[in-house]
């Protein structure tokens, strides 16, 4: 299992983006071996994500070319491309625009040789796709999300790309049960799962005594369908406060064992670190956990 990183961890508010070559050189200097790549992470796209859609309106050929060159130069395969937009947005026009951009992204992902595109099931919160809304539990929210995912799966199937969704407390798919449900209802081999253990915890649950039960329950319901693993962490408390790998309560040794038992053949992408001075410690924490 290689140790990778999400390139979004190198995006810093108020600071200019690096070009593709500089970004991939930095990632390799830390010892990472693969990346989950977002086009928002490189200067060549000139794109700033919104709270609705995190896919550029267009993807310049030069941006694809420079990302591909950098990945090859620094031996950092791009395994996953971020394809997140609010798939449950209450305005159908936003969902339709997300799908239009998604179709362009599928072509770019194929050109980069990526196996997977990551998704966000979204929220009825119109301002931000990762923020909870009290309307998330409605049938209308599920139907909007399901229709959008179904269209995305059809686009991905044409490009030979597998899509991966995750259970996230603030989103429509907020439990392992809903993750299982959407895969079963879509009924496509091209829709699989991201395991992000930190995202499995709801408010009031982020305490050490709950960790193995919460993570183990997710494996029981969708362990065999995991194609991407994220190494984000969550701090102990009654709220939801994410943090870098090993800074919280996630039991990464237990997670590594469960991934092996599930036959997981992918990589671990560390995520949620953001402080570049903490990268080496995070890598060491994960690699030690793999040995336990």
Write out pLDDT tens, residues 23-50. Answer: 999 999 999 999 999 999 999 998 999 9
Q: What pLDDT does residue 278 have?
A: 96
Q: What pLDDT does residue 60 have?
A: 94
Q: Are 148 and 102 in contact (CB under 8 A)?
A: no
Tracing tokens 């991939």 back to the chain, one arrives at: 24
Q: What pLDDT does residue 13 have?
A: 85
* Averaged pLDDT score across all residues of the chain: 97
Question: Residue 153: what are its φ and ψ, rounded to 5°?
Answer: -60, -40
Q: What pLDDT does residue 89 have?
A: 98
Tracing tokens 């560390």 back to the chain, one arrives at: 270
With a cut of 90, say whether residue 226 has pLDDT above it: yes
Structurally, how many domains does the chain consist of? 1
Q: What pLDDT does residue 14 have?
A: 84
Nearest Cα residue to 6 out of 268, 246, 290, 247: 268
- 78-106 pLDDT tens trace: 999 999 999 999 999 999 999 999 999 99
Instruction: Categorize the per-residue pLDDT at 271 as very low, low, confident or very high, splitting at 50, 70 and 90.
Output: very high
Quote the CA–CA distance of 285 and 278 in Å, as a whole number: 11
Quote the CA–CA distance of 124 and 148 in Å, as a whole number: 13
With a cut of 90, say whether residue 64 has pLDDT above it: yes
Cα dihedral 241/282/284/200 (nearest 10): 40
pTM for the model: 0.96
Angle at 101 between CA 107 and CA 52, to 5 degrees: 140
Q: Which two tokens stand for residue 120?
A: 């966000």
Looking at the chain, list the stretches that DSSP marks H as alpha helix, in order from N- to C-terminal side. Answer: 20-29, 61-73, 92-111, 139-159, 176-186, 211-222, 252-261, 279-291
CATH of the domain at 209: 3.20.20.150
Q: Are 249 and 233 in contact (CB under 8 A)?
A: yes
Instruction: Categorize the per-residue pLDDT at 74 as very low, low, confident or very high, splitting at 50, 70 and 90.
Output: very high
- Domain of residue 102 covers 3-291
Instruction: Categorize the per-residue pLDDT at 213 as very low, low, confident or very high, splitting at 50, 70 and 90.
Output: very high
For the chain, what percent of residues have pLDDT higher than 90?
A: 97
For the chain, what percent of residues have pLDDT higher than 70?
A: 100
Binning the chain into helix, strand and coil, the percentages to the nearest 5 are 45, 15, 40
With a cut of 90, say whether residue 194 has pLDDT above it: yes
Quote the CA–CA distance of 193 and 162 in Å, as a whole number: 10
Instruction: Categorize the per-residue pLDDT at 292 as very low, low, confident or very high, splitting at 50, 70 and 90.
Output: confident
């Amino acid at each position: 299992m290689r140790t990778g990183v999400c390139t979004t961890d190198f995006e810093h508010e108020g600071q200019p983006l690096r070009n593709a070559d500089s970004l991939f050189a930095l990632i390799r200097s830390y010892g990472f071996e693969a990346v989950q790549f977002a086009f928002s992470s490189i200067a060549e796209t000139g794109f700033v994500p919104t709270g609705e859609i995190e896919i550029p309106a267009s993807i310049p050929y030069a941006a694809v070319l420079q990302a591909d060159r950098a990945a090859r130069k620094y031996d950092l395969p791009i395994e996953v491309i971020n394809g997140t937009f609010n798939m449950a947005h209450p305005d159908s026009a936003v969902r339709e625009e997300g799908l239009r951009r998604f179709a362009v992204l599928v072509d770019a992902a194929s050109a980069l040789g990526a196996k997977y595109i990551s998704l966000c099931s979204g929220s009825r919160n119109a301002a931000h796709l990762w923020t909870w809304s009290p309307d998330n539990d409605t049938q209308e929210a599920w139907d909007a999300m399901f229709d959008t995912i179904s269209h995305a799966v059809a686009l991905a199937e044409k490009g030979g790309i597998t899509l991966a969704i995750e259970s996230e407390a603030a989103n429509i798919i907020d439990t392992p049960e809903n993750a299982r449900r959407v895969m079963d209802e879509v009924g496509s081999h091209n829709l699989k799962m991201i395991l992000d253990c930190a995202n499995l915890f709801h408010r009031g649950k982020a305490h050490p005594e709950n960790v193995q039960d919460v993570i183990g329950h997710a494996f029981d319901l969708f362990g065999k369908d995991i194609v991407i693993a994220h190494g984000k962490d969550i701090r102990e408390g009654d709220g939801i406060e994410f943090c870098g790998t090993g800074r919280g309560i996630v039991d990464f040794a237990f997670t590594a064992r469960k991934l092996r038992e599930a036959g997981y053949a992918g990589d671990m992408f560390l995520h949620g670190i953001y402080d570049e001075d903490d990268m080496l410690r995070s890598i060491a924490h994960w690699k030690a956990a793999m040995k336990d």
